[in-house]
Amino acid sequence: MSEPAELYLDSVPGERRAALVGEDGRLLKVSIDRDGRASHLETIVRARVVRVDKQTGAAFFDLGPAGEGMLPKAGKLTEGAAASVQVVRDAHAAKGPALTRNYQLAERYLAWTFGRRGVEVARALGQGKRRAELEEALAAALDAADVGDLAEGLLLRAPALGADAKTLERDLRRLAERRAAIRAAEERATPPATLETPPGFLERAVRDAPAGARVATDDRALHQRLKARVQADWPDLAEGIAFFDPARGALFDSAGVSDALAEATARTVDLVGGGRLVIDRTEALIAIDVDGGGSADGGGLKEEAVFRLNRRAVEEAARQIRLRNLSGLIVIDCVTLKTKGRIKALVEHLRAKVKADPVKTDVLGATAAGLIEVTRQRTAPALDELMDAPAGAPRPAADAQAVGILRAALALKGPGAPVACASKPVQAALKGPLAEAKADVDRRLGRPLEVRDGADTVPPDVILER
């Protein structure tokens, strides 16, 4: 039996990170929440239409603190109308948040979507015996909970793999309470008004963790909150909530995540058995090129060897897409195959591999030229957008470098005054969106961290000066 997935939750002033390691021990996903990059994902707002674009049919809403959001189809909405909407994609570049009127309330095992009919089952739960057992458990939970029409629009989520009827019943009751609270808030709201805010970033990461995952955090307060929540509501995680004492070092370093995270922003990815992926971002799409190189399988030009290389490549491409949180149109250029049946087999293999991705991912098929096209919904920034400077410049983003300095300062041991060197943009980040985090670090250190003019380095240049 394979080991359960592992979720590592790392927190320092100014930044929170969640890293999911799969059953095979490989890094599967990294999410980052950083001060100064506000996220409104899952927030439900009673908003007002400020304009309707006649050409596209889109409606634009005043969301209050979240700015102006866009609903792709206005329908019968007109300027000045009020509606309840949910943020399904944070703002990025020049685009505001994307919205839906079919807002979703998610618990760990179940979710309910406004305006949907019937009961859906997450693709990751498959079609086997366990799915049938879960559907029976949900039917029993609905009978016991007596939550009226809540059965219309329910979704059995992937973590439900470890749930029973009593557990599902508790989720149903929470969903009913939340829906009632939103409806009551709608009646008294003056747009724009927030109807429901989502759970915190780290709590949400645990809510969405795979069934039976083991969770480790270096935040003592979070550890206590999670233990209480798991004992009350999330029984499949009960045996796997652990506290990692920061005195032992950095959690991501100890778990091997830091090294894997550095590889996750590299342009090239080596494939086991030879060959590599080359990942490039353009304005229109993300291109993933399969390079056979000196592959043991692909070094020769035999069709079977090339197929094996491509099969490994699409498996790794599926992992990298999720790990890097890539979105939009993604094109995979495999090593040329002569047989159409082989190309079709690659497409089907990729479809199977993306099933476990909780973000909507569609493998469209192969073009006449043999390019495999994939689309993936954007919900949050890609990993490289959070870690790197814009336009692919070979340096970290200013706020990423600033948080790196704070991390390094907290790891210092011994006597002396903490001193760091940083560029003007990094200093501006420490005085701006990360000012509160910098003050927190100063308090923990017992003296101010001095930041001097200098070049940005990786890792950051932070020392104790005597």
DSSP notation for 334-386: PPP-S-HHHHHHHHHHHHHHHTT-SS-EEEEEE-TTSEEEEEE---S--HHHH
Q: Closest by alpha carbon to 288, among 337, 321, 355, 333?
A: 333
User: pLDDT exceeding 70 applies to what percent of the chain?
Assistant: 96
User: Does one domain contain both 332 and 278?
Assistant: yes
Q: Is residue 154 part of a domain?
A: no
Q: Is residue 174 part of a domain?
A: no
User: Does one domain contain both 256 and 297?
Assistant: no
Whole-model pTM: value is 0.89
Q: Closest by alpha carbon to 386, among 374, 401, 405?
A: 401
Q: Is residue 341 part of a domain?
A: yes
Cβ neighbors of 247 (< 8 A, separation 6 or more) are: none
- pLDDT above 60 (res 199): yes
Only one residue has tokens 């476990």, namely: 356
Domain count, the chain: 4
Check which CATH number belongs to the domain holding 59 and give it.
2.40.50
In 203-252, where do the E strands start and end?
A: 214-217, 241-243
pLDDT, tens digit, for every residue of 163-179? 999 999 999 999 999 99
Give SS3 for 168.
helix
Give SS3 for 114.
coil
User: Does one domain contain both 276 and 366?
Assistant: yes
What's the confidence (pLDDT) of residue 1?
Answer: 42
Give SS3 for 103.
coil
User: Does one domain contain both 222 and 300?
Assistant: no
For the chain, the maximum distance between any two Cα atoms, rounded to a whole number of angstroms, is 70
What's the confidence (pLDDT) of residue 301?
Answer: 56
Out of 81-95, 111-125, 280-294, which region has the weakest mean confidence (pLDDT)?
280-294
| Contact yes or no for 314/349 (Cβ under 8 A) | yes
Which residue range is the domain that position 335 belongs to?
267-376
User: Does one domain contain both 356 and 394?
Assistant: no
Check which CATH number belongs to the domain holding 455 and give it.
3.30.2320
- pLDDT above 60 (res 298): no
pLDDT, tens digit, for every residue of 358-414? 888 999 999 988 899 999 998 888 888 888 766 545 678 999 999 999 999 999 998
Q: Closest by alpha carbon to 290, among 223, 213, 343?
A: 343
Residue 239 CA: distances (Å) to CA of 115, 170, 234: 37, 20, 10
| Contact yes or no for 249/413 (Cβ under 8 A) | no
Q: Is residue 287 part of a domain?
A: yes
- By DSSP bridging, strand 68-71 and strand 193-196 are unpaired
Check which CATH number belongs to the domain holding 211 and give it.
3.30.420
